[in-house]
Amino acid sequence: MGGSVSMLRAEIQAHVRVAATYPSFLEPNLYVTRYFLEICEEGEGIRPADRNNAAVLSQMSMLSENDLSTEVGLLAENERAIDVLLRIIETYRSMTPAPEFDTKKRLFARIRRPDPFPDLYEPVAEYDIARNQASLLRMALRCMRMVTVVKDARQYIYAHSACIPVFNRVVDENPLDDFVRQDVKGIFKNLYAGDESVKRIETASIAITVELMTDYDDSPAVSSSPNAAEAGRVQLAAIKRLQVLVHEAPDHVPCHAALLTADAIPAVGRALARFPETYADIYAHTCRLFVTIVSPPRLQADEEAGRPHDERLPKIIGQHGGVEGAVRLLKHCRGFFTRRPQNTTDAPPPAATAVAVKKLSAQEELDALKERMLAPGGSNQEADDTRRALVEEAPRTDWTVPDLAQQALWALDVLSVTEFNRIAMKREKLKFVIREVTLGSKLIVPRRLRLIQWAAVGYPDDDEDPL
């Protein structure tokens, strides 16, 4: 066994030398990567025909370091092999077919006949370059997915490689390739799971950011669950990243098209519906995102030029709970501006009246419990308990109450350009909330909100309801 391990280690090192000698040619790198993948799959008992099998992929997602084969362990311990795989993933698009003659043997070129390129590599035709580049990327990603299970390999990648932008870029370059997407997701699960799960969002595009938000939608939102805090961090980081991408976009037209294509606004709406308004950071940065998408300078330019506003994105935001979320945040902050009643008398509060409590028997308690479980409102009660638990465990925020309320007002201002959103604001009793807000002097009520004619919004007002 020791001799076999030594021979396999030497074979891996020889293939690493081949890849290092010809870093920009397709054929040698295809040969090396195919060898790495074959020994890893042979060690794990995976046939080449089962690479896309769902059962095999689920088995790979549950790999542990103690259950890995010797072949994967030997490949993971070779740091040069990891460098080769990372370099292939980064430069696969720029690799070209190998020339006819070997480019490395140039000694005494004038008096010596050049050697042909090694014939153990199958040549790649000009029309087949793109397919072989994609095949090279797939094989390198599958090898990296198995290698990153080993802790030492992960530590080496942390210390010697900034691979997050590279992995995000290959997903963006192959948006329809599920093989690439699933392997990159598995690599990130091995590398940056748990508290490090937001690292991928730092350099993610709009599509990848929305994909991560959707992935963390499935985790339970119960405060006692270990996934609750992680899901909150991912949703907050994703909303911040979307705001930065929209703000830094040189042209808003392709950026808005990317938001619509990736279903970014529904993902943000699901985050608002999932977390209560006590998660102030999520709500505040969501309001900032709405203001960035529906830009006030662009609205002002439309008004000055006499053009109608583009109501497509504001209406989609309103359809997915954007107006209700901003109003909930504003109502949550309303207590800052409402003066609490002061108790002027020193009289003690009235004592509660004594109520005779009847002690139930065991059978009566069981019957009462059964009636409570069979009640039609049981699911609503469970949802209320979950939301109450989230409120109690809400994280602290650095935002002040006036800043939170101002963010909500600015978001409602830009969303009020559509009749659909104004009807939603009227349904949420925004008129009375704004009246209370204007009693304070620390907030600015935007012009569009002040000029809304609430009587003309939606159905005509009844005499009993002045709103």
pLDDT at residue 348, as a whole number: 53
Determine how many CB atoms are found less than 10 A away from the CB of residue 153: 25
Looking at the chain, the whole-number percentage of residues with pLDDT higher than 70 is 75
Question: Is 215:248 a contact under the CB 8 Å cutoff?
Answer: no
Residue 346 belongs to some domain of the structure: no
Q: pLDDT at residue 13 above 60?
A: yes
* Mean pLDDT of the residues in the chain: 80
Return the structure tokens found at 414: 């830009």
Mean pLDDT confidence for 301-309: 88
- What six digits make up the tokens of 46? 């995976």
Q: Is the pLDDT of residue 310 over 80?
A: yes
> So what's the pLDDT on residue 109?
46
pLDDT at 359: 59
Please name which of 91, 184, 192 lies closest in space to residue 145, comparing C-alpha atoms. 184
Residues 189 and 312 in one domain: no
The Cα-based distances of 161 to 79, 139, 151, 154, 156 in angstroms read 12, 20, 15, 10, 8
How much is the average pLDDT of 306-310?
A: 87
**Overall residue count recorded for the chain in this entry:** 467
Q: Are residues 185 and 319 in the same domain?
A: no
Residues 64-86: what's their mean pLDDT? 87
What is the pLDDT, as a whole number, of residue 270? 92
| Residues 157-181 pLDDT 10s | 888 768 888 999 999 999 888 889 9
Chosen domain end from 166, 193, 220: 193
114 or 72, higher pLDDT? 72
Q: Is residue 345 domain-resident?
A: no
Residue 81 lies in a domain: yes
Q: Is residue 243 assigned to a domain?
A: no
29 or 107: whose pLDDT is higher? Answer: 29
Q: Which of 172, 193, 214 is the last residue of a domain?
A: 193
Quick one: average pLDDT of 238-246? 94
- The answer to whether position 439 is within a domain reads yes
What average pLDDT does this structure show over 334-343?
A: 52
Q: How confident is the model at residue 396 (pLDDT cuts 50, 70, 90)?
A: low
| Among candidate residues 350, 327, 307, the one with its CA nearest the CA of residue 431 | 327
Average pLDDT over residues 239-251: 93
What number of CA atoms fall less than 13 Å from residue 34's CA on the CB side?
A: 13
**Residue in the structure block whose two tokens are 């204007």:** 438
Domain boundary among 147, 165, 193: 193
Range of weakest confidence among 81-95, 108-122, 156-170, 308-322: 108-122
Residue 382 has pLDDT above 70, yes or no: no
d(CA 449, CA 139): 57
* Whether the predicted pLDDT of 383 surpasses 70: no
C-alpha separations of 89 from 164, 341, 367, 383, 449 in Å? 12, 66, 64, 45, 52
Task: Assess whether pLDDT exceeds 80 at residue 329.
Answer: yes
Please choose, from the candidates 184, 285, 272, 185, the residue with its C-alpha nearest in 3D space to the C-alpha of residue 239: 285
The CA distance from 155 to 149, in Å, is 11
Does residue 405 carry a pLDDT above 80?
Answer: yes
Find where tokens 């969303």 sit: 415
97 — pLDDT class (breaks 50, 70, 90): confident
Rg over CA atoms, the chain: 31
Statement to judge: residues 189 and 308 lie in one domain: no
My answer on whether 70 and 188 are in the same domain is: yes
Q: Is residue 170 part of a domain?
A: yes
Q: Which of 204-213, 229-238, 409-418 has the lowest mean pLDDT?
A: 229-238
What's the mean pLDDT in 73-96?
92
Average pLDDT over residues 340-354: 49
pLDDT value of residue 458: 72
**34-38, 88-92, 359-363, 447-451: segment of lowest average pLDDT:** 359-363
Residue 290 in contact with residue 239, Cβ under 8 Å? no
The strand pairing partners of 96, in sequence order, are 25
Per-residue confidence at 336, pLDDT binned at 50, 70, 90?
Answer: low
pLDDT given at position 400: 85
Count structural domains, the chain.
Answer: 2
Per-residue pLDDT, 126: 85
Give the Cα separation of 411 and 294 in Å (integer).
Answer: 9
Predicted pLDDT of residue 372: 61
State the pLDDT at residue 260: 93
* Mean pLDDT to the nearest integer, 352-370: 58
Report which of 143, 137, 141 is spatially closest to residue 36, judged by C-alpha positions.
Answer: 143
Which position has the token pair 């092999």? 81
Whether residue 289 is predicted with pLDDT greater than 90 in this model: the reply is yes
Share of the chain above pLDDT 90, in %: 32
Contact between residue 5 and residue 74 where contact means Cβ atoms under 8 Å apart: yes
Cα(122)–Cα(26) distance, integer angstroms: 10
Assign 102 a pLDDT band (cuts: 50, 70, 90).
low
Q: How confident is the model at residue 221 (pLDDT cuts 50, 70, 90)?
A: very low
User: Could you tell me if residue 320 is inside a domain?
Assistant: yes
Q: Within 13 Å and on the Cβ side, how many CA atoms surround 333?
A: 26
Q: How confident is the model at residue 413, as a pLDDT?
A: 92
pLDDT band at 432 (very low <50, low <70, confident <90, very high): confident
SS (H, E, C) the chain: CHHHHHHHHHHHHHHHHHHHHCCCEHHHHHHHHHHHHHHHHHHHCCCHHHCCCHHHHHHHHCCCHHHCCHHHHHHHHCHHHHHHHHHHHHHHHHCECCCCECCCCCCCCCCCCCCECCCCCCCCCHHHHHHHHHHHHHHHHHHHHHHCCCHHHHHHHHHHCCCHHHHHHHHHHCCCCHHHHHHHHHHHHHHCCHHHCCHHHHHCCHHHHHHHHHHCCCCCCCCCCHHHHHHHHHHHHHHHHHHHHHHHCCCHHHHHHHHHHCCHHHHHHHHHHHCCCCCHHHHHHHHHHHHHHCCHHHHHHHHHHCCCCCCHHHHHHHHCCHHHHHHHHHHHHHHHCCCCCCCCCCCCCCCCCCCCCCCCCHHHHHHHHHHHHCCCCHHHHHHHHHHHHHHHCCCCCCCCHHHHHHHHHHHHHHHCCCHHHHHHHHHCCHHHHHHHHCCCCCCCCCHHHHCCCHHHCCCCCCCCCCC
Task: Name which of 149-163, 208-222, 388-402 the model is least confident about.
Answer: 388-402
Q: What is the pLDDT of residues 19-74, one digit of tens each?
A: 888 888 898 899 999 999 999 888 888 877 777 776 777 777 777 777 788 888 89
Q: Which domain holds residue 422?
A: 296-336+397-456
- Token pair belonging to 437: 């807000």
Residue 343's pLDDT is what? 47
In a domain, 413, yes or no: yes
What's the confidence (pLDDT) of residue 256? Answer: 93
The pLDDT-based confidence of 137 (bands split at 50, 70, 90) is very high
